Amino acid sequence: MSISDTIHEAIRGHHQVLLRSQEDLDKRVVEPHVVHEAANGSILVDFYQISGFSSSGNLPGWRRLAISDIAEATILAESFTPRTADGYNPGSKRYARIISRA
């Protein structure tokens, strides 16, 4: 299964993901909420990071990565509820084109 397919499946099932980006030293646990196409054509995933590697150290919190920058992604058994109280808005106009969303 491709990394993109893994992220889409996790979003559909509201499952946490253990992932590592190309630049990360270690893995992080995230709740993927939306995959979207940016105005420049990049495919991005917005997620709520709950633990693991963070260069800023500000956890938990919202993050965004290009799908192409993700080196590893594994769906975890733990599920999540979309974080509308923490700022997630699935109808936000900031997304040029939504591909999948929680």
Q: What is the CA radius of gyration of the chain?
A: 12
Residue 29: CB partners within 8 Å, gap ≥ 6? Answer: 16, 17, 18, 49, 50, 51, 52, 76
Q: Is the dihedral of CA 38, 21, 63, 11 positive or negative?
A: positive
Here the tokens at position 58 are 């500000």
The strand ranges marked E within 22-96 are 28-37, 43-52, 61-66, 70-79
Query: Percentage of residues in the chain with pLDDT exceeding 70?
Result: 100
Protein fold of 3-101: SH3 type barrels. (2.30.30)
Which residue would you say has higher pLDDT here, 39 or 28? Answer: 28
Residue whose tokens read 């700022």: 87
Say if CB 66 and CB 3 are below 8 A apart. Answer: no
Binning pLDDT at 50, 70 and 90, where does residue 95 land?
Answer: confident
Summarised one tens digit per residue, pLDDT across range 42-91 is 999 999 999 998 888 889 999 999 999 999 999 999 999 999 888 888 77
Q: Report the pLDDT value the prediction gives residue 54, as an integer from 0 to 100.
A: 85
Q: Report the pLDDT value the prediction gives residue 61, as an integer from 0 to 100.
A: 93
Kindly report the average pLDDT of the chain as a whole number. 92
The pTM of this model reads 0.92
